[in-house]
Structure 1
């Protein structure tokens, strides 16, 4: 994360989610066109493409197939989706663009639009930000206590 934050576009990036995806051509792996949830995830999505080359497809929300953008993603490359690429296009990895095993690591930040959250959820939001700032790359197993605390907060919110 610290290395990512040395780039001017990412100097204030605070990752709160890390998603690892394992794609395999023999299984027909792919990811359908989608926009990551805007009510929770922030402006920037960072993906690091590992093991093999692939192609990221950007499909306009208006579904005009003449305007699909194909972005080559060589192995060991990073891409940051933000602005129009984040909100005006769905992104996908098509089945035919997976030729070998591919690992993708995606980092997400929370939206800064806390005014849409209830008071209880704002407290949870702040707690998630604090936890995200402590991220050191240690496996999830060490954070069981924190996860249990978050689950307790969610359960309390749901009962209110």
Structure 2
């Protein structure tokens, strides 16, 4: 939740929005009702940051997903919109100085966690997605594909409702 909120603050250039937690989705046959949990208290905006610094960070995230050397570029090809993201990996345990990490030799519960956070569409962000997959390995190879599917679902659902 903290990663998603931090991503939202960056995307909104310092404005701190309260997150909404989804409690349930109820199928009504031809539509869905979404029940959310109560909102969290708001915080004051982050001020005093020059616009160019927000731009640099956001452009870097765009390049993660769409740049020629972006770590998550494979998951974000053939999109109808641009997005931004950051992949990561969280170690479950510390290695000794002379030790090497070998996922194939580790018990499942000791493998790295995959992290990915992102937003879409790039020009006018509407959705922030943060994925944490326990013991799944790299964020770009495992977390980014899940985020892509969530972006496609959220924005396709919105596009479909605008056409009606």
TM bucket normalised to smaller? under 0.3
| TM-score (structure 2 length as normaliser) | 0.25
Tell me which protein shows more strand as a share of its residues.
1
More RCO (CA 8 Å, sep 6+) = 1
